[in-house]
Structure 1
């Protein structure tokens, strides 16, 4: 069965803060309702905790900088890995992720990889 990444873009917040408890409860309810098709996922800490890694070429010098790659109003705040029948099914599920209600959820097919 194909897998889809449901990539959540919303406000840049610390989702562990008490003021987000109600919304995190909504995520808990979504996770419980969609448990049969969720294969992974996580909420992310704010972009202020990010570290960006670049190289100037393969095997080249590593350049590390604090913070996100780009500053925007909505940032990557989490994701779910969904195993769905098809894209239409993944879209229907993504519409029930709380991040879709006040941000956006990008649905993207996952390229299968061989596991050792």
Structure 2
């Protein structure tokens, strides 16, 4: 999976976002905003025909951001209930995203390094 990303050994967040954009064939943007999400959520992925947007809370850590990006890399879709605040991934999807995010963080330490 990570080989498909084609990341250099010293990859940072910008490299990962560019790789996701290349693989998905569309613009990929991360936006930090003051958004109201359930307490356990720090971001939401919005996919359109021409672009992907990952909207994250202002307090989302690099680790949370990497977890959300792992969902995108894995192509996870979300289930919607009638109440927008209850957007969820399956237990399997959460575990897979956590595993990939951990692997990426260990392989590419700059992905979770705080920006200076």
Q: What TM-score, normalized by structure 2, do the two folds share? A: 0.28
Which protein shows a greater Rg? 1
Higher relative contact order (Cα pairs below 8 Å, separated by 6+ residues): 1
Structure number with the higher helix fraction is 2
Structure number with the higher strand fraction is 1
